[in-house]
Structure 1
Amino acid sequence: MNKINRVAIVGGTHGNEFTGVYLLKLFEQNLNLVKRPSFETLTLLGNPEAFKESRRYIHKDLNRSFFSQDLQNSILTGYEAMRAKVIEKMLGPKGKSQVDVIVDLHSTTSNMGLSILLGELHPFTLQLAAYLTSINPEVKVCYTPLEQESNLLRSLCDFGFAIEVGPVAQAVLNAELFQKTEELVYAVLDYLERRNQGIIENINSPLTLYRFGGVIDFPRNEHGEIKAMIHPQLQFQDYQPLHPGDPIFLTFDGQAIAYTGTSTVYPIFINEAAYYEKGIAMCLTEKQQLKNS
């Protein structure tokens, strides 16, 4: 990868995730916080209308609105469809992005701590992730292989990734996690600056990676209604091992439902509030160790 010239920090892609929104406000009030000598830093509020209403979105999830065919479809006129086209003009187009790196700030009601979400295992992003985990052991790295084309906002750029922080309730600020996210953003920018200056040292220790392997929905009745909850032993246990036979759900009358998989997995986004409508109780990952080269 060549020199980094422009970096975009996006917050409020989901309007009820306040951490990113108020970090943008902080940065815009004092640009020196995110200014670095060797590249330009842009800030962008993703979904301002949803933020005004403290909602995740108005018509459609903005972070699922960036398929090329949708961006080029003049018939799609919902708010997020139109907003995605505006954002693409500012940051895109895909394949010829006007920015080199996109940092998309998110928060979650799940106990994800400080998480970096990658869609590609490119040496550049892997080295960045390894650096961040080396300076802060709290940072976890998740990898969800993208399809041939992604509909995520960060897919506008070849080197886009998300920072996911939690647990934070929707439309609420958590001071501790706000500050930790702020520090992580500065660490990213400092790394990019040092890389431009050619003074980054390689991290030789293996990188722990949580590779997406699928999702599990809640048990439902014939009407599609949820008939069980996340089991108390699993609640807030993101990134912890889940073994075959471990309790995973609890019915309303107190009956435990066990995990029926055949191997140990590491659930993330456990009981994420925004995923109820998507039919997702949690995502399952496999834990891997990658050697840095």
Structure 2
Amino acid sequence: MADSQRVLVVGGTHGNEVTGVHLVRRLQRNPQELTRDSFTAQTLLANLPAMAANRRYLEQDLNRCFTAALLNSEPQNGEQVLAHEINEKYGPKGADSPTDWIIDLHTTTANMGVTLVVQQHDPQAVDMALYVQQKMPDVVIFDENCTRDEDPFLCSIGQHSMLIEVGPVPQGLLRWDVFEQTARALAHALDFIDLRARGEDSLPSPRQADMYQFIEKLHLPRDEHGAICGMIHPELQDRDYRELSPGDPIFISVDGETIPFDYPESVHVAFVNEAAYYDQAHGLSLMRKRTVSWEGE
């Protein structure tokens, strides 16, 4: 076997996203699915207490606990303790992390299909997303834009990382189509790591892809006490990645009053009516669609 890379596949970062949990368990029973010529991947079920409770998290979202600031401070709750333990085992976080790749498996209640979340500062991960998109043309590339130190995701402790997000599927529920799409995307991602190690990834140079870059999250309508008093407008429901222009219907109150989109530009939407974000009353994310070109490494 060639000089081996350290690759980690993670499920259960959110305890009620059971697709990743059950896929990791399948991989643990069938390690040949994780084996390539240049490496054998490891697996991690990240938040066992939240998994046992079938909850996203118990005290704090584990996938928001991996900023450099939190990892370098005294942990304040169970999820922060877990983050420190995971960083100690697979990190430390940074460009010299001993873990070459981390791929984290997630699901969403939103109608987002297969979405690959990567960071601008990680061109190898962007290459991986493009490779998977070549194999699965309906895949969407979601481009986060923050520094490694600011990145709160578990997968950010690796040198390179990608988050696979597939939906729609309710929390705590298994669906074969979502499970199979997740498994396919993961298999292609592992193939990419192996092919890249052998100089055979076959990507064009220069490369080009459409990507959606996160702008901000918008709150659902709330009353004077902060309680949710409205919902996603039916014209927008289940239409993730559609373009939303100023004046378009975005929310509807519980009394049936349409609330138009009040924004200075047309943007795209994602995580539309994501159930996991109701704890903060967020209704959707705004995205800017860009066509990106870059040179291969």
TM tier, smaller: over 0.9
Matched with 1:135 is 135
* Kept in 2: contact 1:127–1:203 (CA 8 A): no
Tell me how far 1:4 sits from its aligned partner.
Answer: 6.5
User: TM (normalized to structure 2)?
Assistant: 0.93
CA offset digits 1:203-242 (Å, max 9, x no partner):
3563010011111111211100112110011011101111
Residue range with higher mean Cα deviation, 126-135 or 229-238? 126-135
Distance 1:251 1:279 in 2: 14
Partner of residue 83, structure 1: 82
| 1:5/1:235 CA distance change after superposition, 3 Å | same
Per-residue Cα deviation, 1:54-111 (whole angstroms, up to 9, x for no partner): 011111111111233433434x352211111111122100123221011011101011
The AA in structure 1 aligned to 2:239 is Q
Alpha-carbon distance between aligned partners in 1 of 2:246 and 2:70, rounded to the nearest angstrom: 41
Between 166-175 and 195-204, the greater mean CA deviation after superposition = 195-204
The answer for the alignment partner of 2:116 in structure 1 is: 116
Say whether the 8 Å CA contact 2:28–2:43 is kept in structure 1. Answer: yes
Contact 2:99 2:159 in 1 (8 A): no
- Give the RMSD, CA atoms, in angstroms: 1.5
Q: In 1, Cα distance between the equivalents of 2:119 and 2:127?
A: 14
Corresponding position: 1:259 with 2:261? yes
Structure 2 residue aligned with 1:160: 161
Kept after mapping to 1: 8 A contact 2:62/2:79: yes
Tell me the number of residue pairs that the alignment of Structure 1 and Structure 2 aligns. 290
SS of residue paired to 1:238: coil
Deviations 1:16-47 (A, max 9, x none): 00010000000000000111121231100010
Q: What's the offset of the Cα at 1:201?
A: 1.4
Is the 8 Å Cα contact of residues 270 and 283 (structure 1) preserved in structure 2? yes
* Equivalent position to 1:207, from 196, 206, 209: 209
Q: Is the deviation greater in 15-24 or in 136-145?
A: 136-145
Letter in 2 for 1:255: E
Q: 1:97 aligns to what?
A: 97
Whether contact under 8 Å (1:10, 1:46) holds in the other structure is: yes
CA distance in 1, matches of 2:55, 2:245: 36
**Paired residue secondary structure (2:240):** coil
Q: Which amino acid aligns with 2:14?
A: H
Aligned to 1:271: 273
The superposition leaves residues 138-177 of structure 1 with CA deviations (integer Å, 9 ceiling, x where unpaired) of 1100112114522221111231121111111000011111
Counterpart for residue 181 of structure 1: 182
| Separation (CA, whole Å) in 1 of partners of 2:46 and 2:68 | 18
CA contact (8 A) 1:9 1:104 kept: yes
2:52 equivalent to 1:52? yes
Conserved 8 A contact 1:131-1:203:
no
Pairwise CA distance, 1:279 = 3.1
- Confirm or deny: 8 A CA contact 2:98 2:159 kept in the other structure: no
For the residues of structure 2 that align with 1:103 and 1:242, how far apart are their CA atoms?
31
What secondary structure is seen at the aligned counterpart in 1 of 2:243?
coil
More strand by share: 2
The aligned residue for residue 240 of structure 2 is: 238
Q: Give how far 1:200 is off.
A: 1.7
The 8 Å contact of residues 220 and 227 in structure 1, kept in 2 or not, is answered as: yes
5+ long unaligned stretches in structure 2: none
Taking a change above 3 Å as real, the CA distance of residues 167 and 287 of structure 1, as seen in their structure-2 partners, is same
SS, match of residue 192 in structure 1: helix
CA–CA distance in structure 2, aligned partners of residues 200 and 151 of structure 1? 29
TM (norm. structure 1) is: 0.95
4+ residue runs of structure 1 moved beyond 6 angstroms? none
- Contact 2:10-2:46 within 8 A present in 1 as well: yes
**Are the counterparts in 2 of residues 94 and 156 from structure 1 also a CA contact under 8 Å?**
yes
